[in-house]
A = this chain, B = another copy of it.
Amino acid sequence: MISLLMKRIALLTALWGPPLVAQASIAGDWQLSHKQLSNVGYYMLHIDQSGDKLTGTFGPVKLTGTFRNGVIEAKSDESGRPGTLTATVKGNEMEGGGEDEEGPFTFTARRTSPKTTAPVSHQFTPTEFHHYFTASIRPALHINAGDTVHTKSIDASGIDENGKRRTSGGNPLTGPFYVDGAWPGDVIAVKLIRLRLNRNSAVSLGRIFSSALTPGYFRSAKYDAKFDSDWKIDSDAGVARLAKPTDRLKDFTVELKPMLGCIGVAPREEQSFRSGSLGPFGGNMDYNQFGEGVTIYLPVFHPGALLYLGDAHAVQGDGELTGVALETSAEFSFTVEVLKDKDIPGPRAENAQYRMASGIANSLPEALQQATTSLAQWLEEDYKLTANEAAVVLATSIRYDIAEVVDPFVHIVAKIAKSTLARIKP
């Protein structure tokens, strides 16, 4: 099959004409999309060049070969995943194919260019809202790493800041934002630099979910179907109060602590999850510490990451016990940075006080295990701690938050104070 591939590549070369600058350097980093069987893989291709000889790394694979007349001919490491490939380079783009033990493959690549433009601010007014975390929705806006986006979100039931229904309920999302330069294998850092509620009402529910109650209480709880759990938001006073309070809750106010329930990227491969779901891609994490000032780290699974945000809560207790918080609309601003070639098992975050590692899993025991492990590994990576050292640091200083227990998966956060970490010799 390789001969056919080679023919196709030759044909492409012919179509593109002779390379403009045959002697041009191809050294540097390329974002590479690889297709083999039904699998699409994304890698960074790094090339070093010396005359017409080249060496490179292609994902986990090492390459050696030549670059002559605009054509790369290379083979990959015998000890790793042996194979051969040929590619035609045209400026900052490359197209090619090859074969290895898994069979023939094709690929395209594009040279990463150092970002030369200064960061810009985008004012983005969403007109469409989405109900899935998926790579199959066309980006709403392309941004560069370092850019700032000023935008807004409607509430979980689809109502905007003017009380107008804009779409169906179920956590409609703003985005997706395509982050230029974000490539699978990277991490994006989303910093929420501003988050303000933009209306004076919120909706909620008046029953705690069965997952947070003993079966006995749940069986016998007497709920009033007419109980009104709508809220008034008084942003000046910084509090919410029930819109139609019962006598006993007439003076009951809650301090506003705005947060975004949903921050996530497109999940791995062709999966599509409802905007109420969560996972390694972030999503509907419903953590009441994800407010103004937080930076959230998310793994990138698709070119551009495809970032979605929404589901503002005016305030939410731990666990999101009624399945919803004080659901409202908001305007917010965020910046995105790209951290190249970074591997994180799931969402991490930090704010002025804490480093936070998320465990998002099928059950609370598994979520706690993931959260502790992710935080331990973070310390081991950044402070070069051994497993014993991480153990004594965490055993004395870890704090857990139970973010939510009512969505398709549960979310526990393990955190440690930055003031504690400051006492570790870096």
Which residues of A does B touch, CB under 8 Å? 36-39, 102-103, 129, 131-132, 134, 136, 158, 165, 167-168, 172, 204-208, 210-219, 221-224, 227, 229, 240, 242, 246-254, 269-274, 315-322, 325-326, 362-365, 368-370, 372-373, 376-377, 383-402, 405, 408-409, 412, 420, 423-425
Residues of chain B with a CB closer than 8 A to A394's CB: 208, 317, 321
Q: Which of B252, B272, B326 contacts A393 (CB 8 A)?
A: B252
Total copies of this chain within the assembly: 4
A391 with B321: CB separation less than 8 A: yes
Q: Could you tell me the distance between the alpha carbons of A250 and B270 in the complex, rounded to whole angstroms?
A: 43
Residues of chain B with a CB closer than 8 A to A212's CB: 368-369, 372
Min Cβ gap A365→B in Å is: 5
Q: Which residue of B lies closest to A384 (CB)?
A: B248
What are 7 pairs between A and B in contact, CB < 8 Å? A215-B218, A240-B396, A316-B395, A317-B394, A318-B399, A319-B372, A321-B395
Q: Could you tell me the distance between the alpha carbons of A49 and B369 in the complex, rounded to whole angstroms?
A: 53
Q: Could you tell me the distance between the alpha carbons of A373 and B423 in the complex, rounded to whole angstroms?
A: 40
Q: Could you tell me the distance between the alpha carbons of A377 and B386 in the complex, rounded to whole angstroms?
A: 31
Q: Which of B214, B249, B271, B400 contacts A369 (CB 8 A)?
A: B214
Q: Could you tell me the distance between the alpha carbons of A223 and B322 in the complex, rounded to whole angstroms?
A: 27
Q: Which residue of B lies closest to A345 (CB)?
A: B214
4 tightest CB-CB pairs across the interface, nearest first? A210-B215, A362-B362, A364-B364, A272-B272
Q: Which of B253, B321, B398 contacts A423 (CB 8 A)?
A: B253
Min Cβ gap A417→B in Å is: 10
B397 with A400: CB separation less than 8 A: no
A252 with B423: CB separation less than 8 A: yes
B249 with A320: CB separation less than 8 A: no
A167 with B249: CB separation less than 8 A: no
Most B C-beta atoms less than 10 A away, residue of A36, A251, A386:
A386
Min Cβ gap A281→B in Å is: 13
B204 with A368: CB separation less than 8 A: no
A158 with B37: CB separation less than 8 A: yes
Min Cβ gap A55→B in Å is: 29
Q: Which residue of B lies closest to A322 (CB)?
A: B395
Q: Could you tell me the distance between the alpha carbons of A269 and B273 in the complex, rounded to whole angstroms?
A: 10
Q: Which residue of B lies closest to A254 (CB)?
A: B396
A424 with B392: CB separation less than 8 A: no
Q: Could you tell me the distance between the alpha carbons of A158 and B325 in the complex, rounded to whole angstroms?
A: 45
Residues of chain B with a CB closer than 8 A to A325's CB: 395-396
A251 with B384: CB separation less than 8 A: no
B249 with A317: CB separation less than 8 A: no
Q: Could you tell me the distance between the alpha carbons of A423 and B409 in the complex, rounded to whole angstroms?
A: 33
B395 with A248: CB separation less than 8 A: no
Q: Could you tell me the distance between the alpha carbons of A271 and B408 in the complex, rounded to whole angstroms?
A: 13
B274 with A272: CB separation less than 8 A: no
B388 with A207: CB separation less than 8 A: yes
Q: Which of B37, B167, B271 contacts A168 (CB 8 A)?
A: B37
Min Cβ gap A207→B in Å is: 5
Q: Could you tell me the distance between the alpha carbons of A400 and B254 in the complex, rounded to whole angstroms?
A: 17
B400 with A319: CB separation less than 8 A: yes
Q: Could you tell me the distance between the alpha carbons of A400 and B318 in the complex, rounded to whole angstroms?
A: 6
A248 with B383: CB separation less than 8 A: yes
Q: Which residue of B lies closest to A207 (CB)?
A: B391
Q: Could you tell me the distance between the alpha carbons of A222 and B383 in the complex, rounded to whole angstroms?
A: 16
Q: Taking A224-B386, A316-B396, A318-B399 as given, write out 11 further A-B residue pairs in contact, using a Cβ cutoff of 8 Å, ordered by the A residue number.
A: A37-B158, A38-B131, A217-B376, A218-B219, A240-B396, A249-B389, A319-B400, A321-B395, A322-B391, A365-B365, A402-B402
Q: Which residue of B lies closest to A250 (CB)?
A: B425
Min Cβ gap A289→B in Å is: 11
B368 with A319: CB separation less than 8 A: yes
B217 with A377: CB separation less than 8 A: yes
Min Cβ gap A209→B in Å is: 9
Q: Which residue of B lies closest to A321 (CB)?
A: B395
Most B C-beta atoms less than 10 A away, residue of A224, A391, A397:
A391
